[in-house]
Structure 1
């Protein structure tokens, strides 16, 4: 199958829960979105919990691994791609952001989100509005919501 050189990508910043990461990669496979894992992860990529959550779908998704945030950023800047961070501290509602086909949607660690240096590097900091006083959605659920919105906007839904 011919694929474009670059397409929407979901990047996981130092994920620390294997099951969430596996489920997010499974979502990427189902939606036709590429993925990246920014190390260090809190588990081995071969972890049985990661593989169980991703099932056999992990073979159907393109996953790049980056040794560090700095290496990921070097790659991203060289590729000229925008970075949109999903964060509870985002100043822009997800629905108000205009996605492009080659954007990178970044999610932070389940336990700590993304550090200030990562947030500062993002071209946009997006939040999914939820009812107060609740704090946040599960990172995998948030990623799925954001991916579907991005794909809807760029007419990329399967």
Structure 2
């Protein structure tokens, strides 16, 4: 059973770097759908991901269809601010499944071609009317940790002794 974050055409390198750091800390796969709004050599991308990039299982695709073909039996959930059900209404505990959480561009979200016909797989997080949306990297962390919580993910990094 695996958890995966899919960023569909992300635009802000710092968000992708922060998400990569979350992925490294949780053994979550990171899938990037091109075009990206930045270079993968971008200083901000590397800075936000710190020195964790070697621990990130990252994959690149030219289209969402290419990703779907690579994982035909996976469960795909589309994270959006409108419509759909709440994150907490779903179960992510089947040990035989791969769970993919798909996030859209920071400025426009997911394209309708991905959400149309997948309304039962569209997920939103609770929020007030005071904001348009939560930050992408914060939202990804909430989603990943909810799925992992359901799977009883509890590794603890041992503390280093203090000299």
Q: TM-score, normalised by structure 2?
A: 0.86
Q: Assess if the C-alpha contact under 8 Å between 1:10 and 1:33 holds in 2.
A: yes
Q: CA RMSD in A?
A: 1.5
- Cα deviation for residue 13 of structure 1 reads 0.6
Aligned partners of 1:115 and 1:133: how far apart in 2?
24
**Rg larger in structure:** 2
Cα distance in 2 between the residues matched to 1:121 and 1:15: 23
The aligned counterpart of 2:101 is 105
Residue in 2 aligned with 1:22?
17
Kindly indicate whether residue 61 of structure 2 is the aligned counterpart of residue 52 of structure 1.
no
SS at match of 1:8: strand
When structure 1 is superposed on structure 2, of 91-100 and 142-151 the one drifting more is 91-100
Paired residues of 1:148 and 1:157 also in contact (CA < 8 A): no
Residue 133 of structure 2 is aligned with which of 118, 131, 136?
Answer: 136
Segments of 5+ residues of structure 2 without an aligned counterpart are 156-163
Q: Please, which runs of 5 or more residues in structure 1 have no aligned partner?
A: 1-5
Is residue 36 of structure 2 the alignment partner of residue 41 of structure 1?
A: yes
1:76 maps to which residue?
A: 71
- Using structure 1 for the length normalisation, give the TM-score: 0.89
Deviation at 1:155, TM superposition (A): 1.7
Q: How many residues are matched?
A: 151
The 3-state SS of whatever aligns with 1:11 is strand
> 1:87, 1:125 within 8 Å by CA — same for their partners in 2?
yes
Q: Is the 8 A contact 1:38 1:68 kept in 2?
A: yes
**Deviations 1:4-33 (Å, cap 9, x if unpaired)?**
xx6111111100001100110111101121
2:112 alignment partner, one of 109, 116, 127: 116
Deviation of 1:133 (Å) = 3.6
Residue 152 of structure 1 pairs with residue 149 of structure 2: yes
- For residue 121 of structure 1, report the CA deviation from its aligned partner: 5.9
